[in-house]
Amino acid sequence: MNFKLIMIVAIFSAPCMANRVEATGKITRLYSYSEQMGFDGDIAILTNNPVAGCEGGYWLRKASTEGYKNTLSFLLSAFHAGTNVQFGALSNELWPGSSAKFCRIDQISLIR
């Protein structure tokens, strides 16, 4: 029973994992958008180490959640401290606010 459940989860998770990219770098620029063509509250992040598929950088979609608030707090502290950030992002969810490829942030970690 457990083996079947694990196999089902693995089969349905594989396409999602194929679109996930990870990279480590320092934030070089942060952009915040307000009331612009539906991008109200979105944050665009540029780094010193762009990865294939996310050459523009990363983006954080505005949300009224603890996750959004925590991630924004992490981004600001990493930017000001010049700390390395490990980004987990979805390369199939590109930001519609730019023609450059900005991947949606899925997870971040600060690295000392």
Q: Give the domain CATH number at 29.
A: 2.40.50.50
Domain count, the chain: 1
In a domain, 4, yes or no: no
In percent, the amount of the chain with pLDDT more than 70 equals: 83
> How high is the pLDDT of residue 41?
87
**For the chain, which ranges sit under pLDDT 50?**
5, 7-16
> How high is the pLDDT of residue 23?
95
In a domain, 45, yes or no: yes
In a domain, 89, yes or no: yes
* DSSP tally for the chain: helices H, then strands E: 2, 6
Give the range of the structural domain holding residue 34, as residue numbers without chain letter.
19-111
Residues 61/42, Cβ–Cβ less than 8 Å: yes
Nearest to 85 by CA among 10, 6, 25, 4: 25
> How high is the pLDDT of residue 85?
97
Q: What is the pTM of this model?
A: 0.80
> How high is the pLDDT of residue 6?
52
In a domain, 52, yes or no: yes
